[in-house]
Amino acid sequence: MKLRRVYTAIAAIPFALSMTASADSISDKVNADMPKLMVLYKDLHAHPELSGFEVNTAAKLAKRVKALGFDVTENVGGAGVVAVLKNGPGPVLMIRADMDGLPVIEQTGLDFASKVRATTEDGIESGVMHACGHDTHMTSWVGTAQALTAMKDKWSGTLVMILQPAEERGKGARDMLADGLYERFPKPDFALAFHDAASLPAGTIGYTPGFALANVDSVDVIVKGQGGHGAYPHTTKDPIVLASRIVGALQTLVSRETDPQDSAVVTVGSFHGGAKHNIISDQATLLLTVRSYSDETRQKLLDGIARIAKGEAIAAGIPEDLMPEVNIKDEYTPATFNTPEFTQKMAGLFTQRFGEKRVLETPAVMGGEDFGRFYRADKNIESLIFWVGGVRDDDWQNAKENGTSLPSLHSPYWAPKADSVISTATEALTAAALDIMAKK
């Protein structure tokens, strides 16, 4: 999942001095657990697993929450883990963390950097790295479970903590829901998650009411033609020229067919055709990423891609049996919607705890996160995913003052200030859970 950089007038915030609330049982517990949590984080970072293959990661963390007294079910929707702790009457709260790493060769220089290599489902051998920060998510998940089990006298309700596979492929949440997440286990009244951010100072919380992340579709357009010798183009139907026309026309889907106030993206990320200078191929392939917020805009974009591809082919005189193929890949990630009133309430809680300088309303982004599926499966659920900044103070200050480039999520150089991310996220999730499930 990628989060675009959002530079605001945020001063660097020294983590150790930024807490405005007095020390309490939550922060005391988190601080006491941090040394062992950092050992866990380094272990998870050094041993990432690709989407759909998170077997060892899931088993390792399932063992930890079993020891805390949770009723744990493994292999839900693949490598997914569901841990349930019933603690009297009250609401059902689900807290989610994702587990998968990325096919990225790590270049952070950390002494616990990943050296893992693996083969993707597409048959590509690569290094594997937690370049999106899911290792911080899992560590905070464990920290939150530990804190809440230690404070069972302060809350009443049912805690459902899930570890989700395959977020980077946009299908882990879907597969867990299809495997009976809401039928086999207590269905949540509330759902919480966080994501580390490469665009916020370490220890800063960002929240976005309403749409927070986008629909994401991957679309392949196979453009067909009639190949031949490059010296005799008049005897061919050149698919590269046709594909070029399609690329140009696709730009009008956003610039001329979408309301300027309705965000949308159609990007051609790959254009491949031909193998030699003097041969006109008979096929070219375009790979697109398509992003939107509303379901209506999403469908308009997808329909428009098919219409433009066919229309340009007809204009180029391509016969009916060689019309372009438009294939929408099975990697759809739906837009993530934070229920507004609940989001504002949690933002107020975070502000009271961490102070105004550390809690910021942030704009929606065109990145994708399949956490949104849990709300879409039942829109009675109150749902929030928030950001926790991971950019080190010096790096943030340099970027703000000197325009220094910061590594983004998915970068081989992304190394968040993990202790700030984990301690902030653990404390925020624990505080939110205690508020939601407070004893009456």
The residues annotated with a catalytic role in the active site are 98, 168
Give the integer Cα–Cα distance in Å for 61 and 135: 11
Distant-in-sequence, close-in-space partners of 72: CB < 8 Å, separation ≥ 6:
62, 65, 66, 81, 82, 83, 84
Locate 69 and state its tokens.
Answer: 């007294």
How far lies 293's CA from each of 210, 260, 262, in Å? 10, 13, 8
H/E stretch holding 327: strand 325-328
Is residue 331 a contact partner of residue 171, using CB atoms and an 8 Å limit? yes
User: Is-contact 428 137, C-beta < 8 A?
Assistant: no
Phi, psi of 399 (to 5 degrees): -65, -40
Side-chain half-sphere exposure of 148, counting CA atoms within 13 A: 37
141-144 long-range contacts, CB within 8 A, separation 24+: 141/61, 141/95, 141/96, 141/97, 142/37, 142/40, 142/61, 142/64, 142/65, 143/30, 143/33, 143/34, 143/37, 143/422, 143/423, 143/425, 143/426, 143/430, 144/95, 144/426, 144/429, 144/430, 144/433
Question: Which of 394, 375, 377 lies closest to 385 in space, CA to CA?
Answer: 375
Pairing of strands 125-127, 336-338: unpaired
- Length in residues, the chain: 440
Structure tokens at 274: 């031909």
- Residue closest to 6 by CA, chosen among 406, 428, 411: 406
Alpha helices in 288-417, H assignment, sequence order: 295-315, 340-354, 372-376, 393-402
Distance CA 168, CA 387 (A): 17
